[in-house]
């Protein structure tokens, strides 16, 4: 090898490729060429995968290599464009390479990359946000080195560590259908979104965002990213769910990468299932990225575990948005000691608490209401089930808040008491 190599991609569609050798390396080379659309001639006395010879674009010559196998042809359709030699015998591979040189055909030697006229790079093809990207790595005649680097690049192709976002749309024809990612953003802090969610957000063409979750991340996106605020507030749903569904499909059909950024987890009372079904029904690929659900993380922000040995071994998550009915339905079959976690329950808290007491829950059951969990303005109101509505009203509790009902609410007090006693 003299000087720098000249990187190049080949279109092998309907072009002939000669593969010399019948072992596993040769078989892999043949299959790679077939995947690229080539017509493959194999020269080898034996073939590790005899079934490969049944492929309609494969011709197997049961013979040892001879120079006549590379005899020049005046018929363009019958000439060879590329040669792979992988016999494992240096003398044979050298003879194949010499014959290819005389015939004016590029030859890839599997036995000695330093003596090869051409090289197969280690290749990785992107998916998701990186779809359409192909990275080929050569390692200076060291295939294992190239493979290690290829794998390291591949692990980063689906995220923000590499600039994979599209910068132009297709110039002709109908745009390819894009992609929708339902990303759970967690309870709000930017460092509680998953790594994958962050990567998809950074690679997005369009972000359709709720008001909860890590909305601060939107400020760092490129100006070219379309950001649509569809956040719902109490008594004010500026954008209907039907409109949100339509926006997801519309932008994806334009060939764009769409991120639906939600607070918490999209599949925990987040209507993510509805959005996924709507996209699927319209032929739009959907990826779901789980998030740190507020049902667990917001109690944790207040030091409250939803389960605790000796207190509760299970918990129930319910929506309080529609009043006591769904809450009672969720709690009816649960163990009596199960922790009850209520989301969107502030407006109907008094009625819900009263119904729970009326159906047998102890009015002295501890309750904690955590407002704006994980934010600088987080506030915890502690009360009991019998007084929850009254105390919440007196304290001016407002959404967003998570309500925790059960003996686990006392765990932070026990922890504090234990620390005090230990210090004393």
Q: Specify the range with the lowest mean pLDDT, choosing from 48-52, 175-179, 271-275.
A: 175-179
CA distance 7 to 252: 34
Q: Specify the range with the lowest mean pLDDT, choosing from 36-50, 142-156, 395-409.
A: 142-156
DSSP 78-101: GSEEEEEE--S-HHHHHHHHHHHH
Averaged pLDDT, 130-149: 79
**Chain segment 336-372, per-residue pLDDT in tens:** 889 999 999 999 999 999 999 998 899 999 999 999 9
- Please say if 210 is a catalytic residue: yes
Same domain, 241 and 326: no
Q: Specify the range with the lowest mean pLDDT, choosing from 35-39, 176-180, 289-293, 369-373.
A: 176-180
Q: Does some domain include residue 421?
A: no
pLDDT at 59 over 70: yes
Structurally, how many domains does the chain consist of? 4
Q: Please give the residue range of the domain that contains residue 103.
A: 16-120
Same domain, 114 and 69: yes
Same domain, 285 and 196: yes
What CATH number should be reported for the domain holding residue 353? 3.30.950.10
To the nearest whole percent, how much of the chain has pLDDT over 90? 64
Q: Does some domain include residue 372?
A: yes
pLDDT value of position 332: 81
Same domain, 348 and 381: yes
Range among 69-73, 130-134, 145-149, 249-253 rated most confident: 249-253
At 158, is the pLDDT very low, low, confident or very high (cuts 50, 70, 90)? low
pLDDT value of position 3: 57
Q: Does some domain include residue 422?
A: no
Which residues, including other chains, have CB under 8 Å from residue 78's CB and lie 6 or more apart? Answer: 16
pLDDT at 320 over 50: yes
Computed from CA positions of residues 71, 76, 77, 81, in that sequence, does the dihedral angle turn out positive or negative?
A: positive
What CATH number should be reported for the domain holding residue 92? 3.40.50.720
Tell me what the pLDDT averaged over the chain comes to.
Answer: 88
Q: Does some domain include residue 219?
A: yes
pLDDT at 181 over 90: yes
Averaged pLDDT, 29-58: 94
Range among 139-153, 220-234, 353-367 rated most confident: 353-367
Q: Is 240 exposed, middle or buried (0-12, 13-18, 19+ CB in 10 A)?
A: exposed
Which position has the higher pLDDT, 166 or 123? Answer: 123
pLDDT at 195 over 80: yes
> 41 by DSSP, 3-state: which?
strand
The model's pTM is: 0.63
pLDDT value of position 172: 47
Which residues, including other chains, have CB under 8 Å from residue 243's CB and lie 6 or more apart? Answer: 230
Q: Are 304 and 409 contacting, i.e. CB atoms less than 8 angstroms apart?
A: yes
- Please say if 262 is a catalytic residue: no
End-to-end CA, the chain: 76
pLDDT at 273 over 90: yes
Q: Does some domain include residue 5?
A: no
Same domain, 126 and 33: no
Q: Does some domain include residue 171?
A: no
The catalytic residue among 93, 158, 205, 210 is: 210
Q: Specify the range with the lowest mean pLDDT, choosing from 139-148, 164-173, 193-202, 357-366.
A: 164-173
Same domain, 99 and 24: yes
Same domain, 127 and 208: no
Same domain, 114 and 125: no
Averaged pLDDT, 331-335: 81
pLDDT at 237 over 60: no
Q: Does some domain include residue 143?
A: yes
pLDDT at 75 over 90: no
Same domain, 249 and 318: no
Q: Are 400 and 371 contacting, i.e. CB atoms less than 8 angstroms apart?
A: yes
């Amino acid at each position: 090898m003299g000087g720098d190599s000249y990187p190049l991609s080949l279109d092998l569609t309907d072009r002939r490729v000669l593969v010399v050798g019948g072992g596993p390396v040769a078989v892999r080379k043949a299959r790679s060429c077939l995947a690229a659309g080539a017509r493959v001639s194999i020269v080898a006395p034996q073939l590790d995968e005899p079934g490969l010879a049944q492929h309609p674009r494969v011709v197997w010559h049961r013979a040892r290599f001879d120079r006549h196998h590379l005899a020049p042809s005046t018929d363009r359709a019958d000439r060879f464009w590329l040669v792979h030699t992988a016999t494992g015998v240096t003398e044979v591979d050298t003879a194949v390479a010499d014959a290819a040189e005389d015939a004016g055909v590029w030859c890839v030697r599997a036995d000695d990359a330093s003596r090869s006229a051409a090289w197969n790079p280690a290749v990785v093809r992107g998916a998701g946000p990186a779809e359409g990207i192909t990275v080929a790595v050569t390692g200076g005649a060291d295939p294992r080195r190239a493979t290690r680097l290829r794998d390291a690049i591949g692990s980063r192709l689906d995220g923000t560590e590499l600039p994979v976002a599209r910068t132009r749309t297709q110039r002709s024809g109908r745009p390819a259908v894009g992609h929708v990612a339902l990303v759970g953003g967690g309870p709000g802090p930017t460092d509680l979104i998953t790594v994958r969610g962050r990567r998809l957000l950074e690679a997005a063409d369009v972000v359709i965002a709720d008001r909860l979750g890590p909305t601060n991340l939107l400020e760092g996106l490129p100006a070219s990213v379309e950001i649509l605020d569809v956040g719902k507030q109490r008594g004010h749903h500026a954008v209907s769910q039907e409109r949100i569904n339509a926006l997801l499909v519309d932008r994806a059909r334009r060939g764009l990468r769409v991120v639906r950024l939600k607070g918490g987890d999209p599949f925990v009372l987040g209507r993510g299932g509805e959005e996924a079904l709507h996209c699927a029904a319209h032929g739009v690929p959907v990826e779901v990225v789980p998030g740190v659900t507020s049902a667990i993380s917001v109690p944790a922000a207040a030091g409250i575990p939803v389960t605790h040995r000796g207190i509760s071994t299970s918990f129930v998550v319910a929506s309080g948005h529609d009043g006591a009915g769904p809450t009672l339905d969720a709690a009816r079959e649960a163990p009596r000691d199960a922790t009850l976690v209520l989301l969107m329950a502030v407006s109907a808290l008094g009625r819900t608490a009263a119904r729970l007491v009326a159906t047998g829950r102890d009015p002295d059951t501890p309750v904690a209401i955590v407002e704006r969990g994980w934010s600088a303005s987080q506030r915890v109101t502690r009360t009991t089930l019998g007084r929850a509505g009254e105390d919440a009203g007196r304290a001016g509790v407002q959404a967003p808040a998570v309500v925790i009902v059960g003996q686990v609410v006392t765990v932070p007090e026990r922890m504090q008491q234990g620390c005090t006693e230990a210090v004393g």
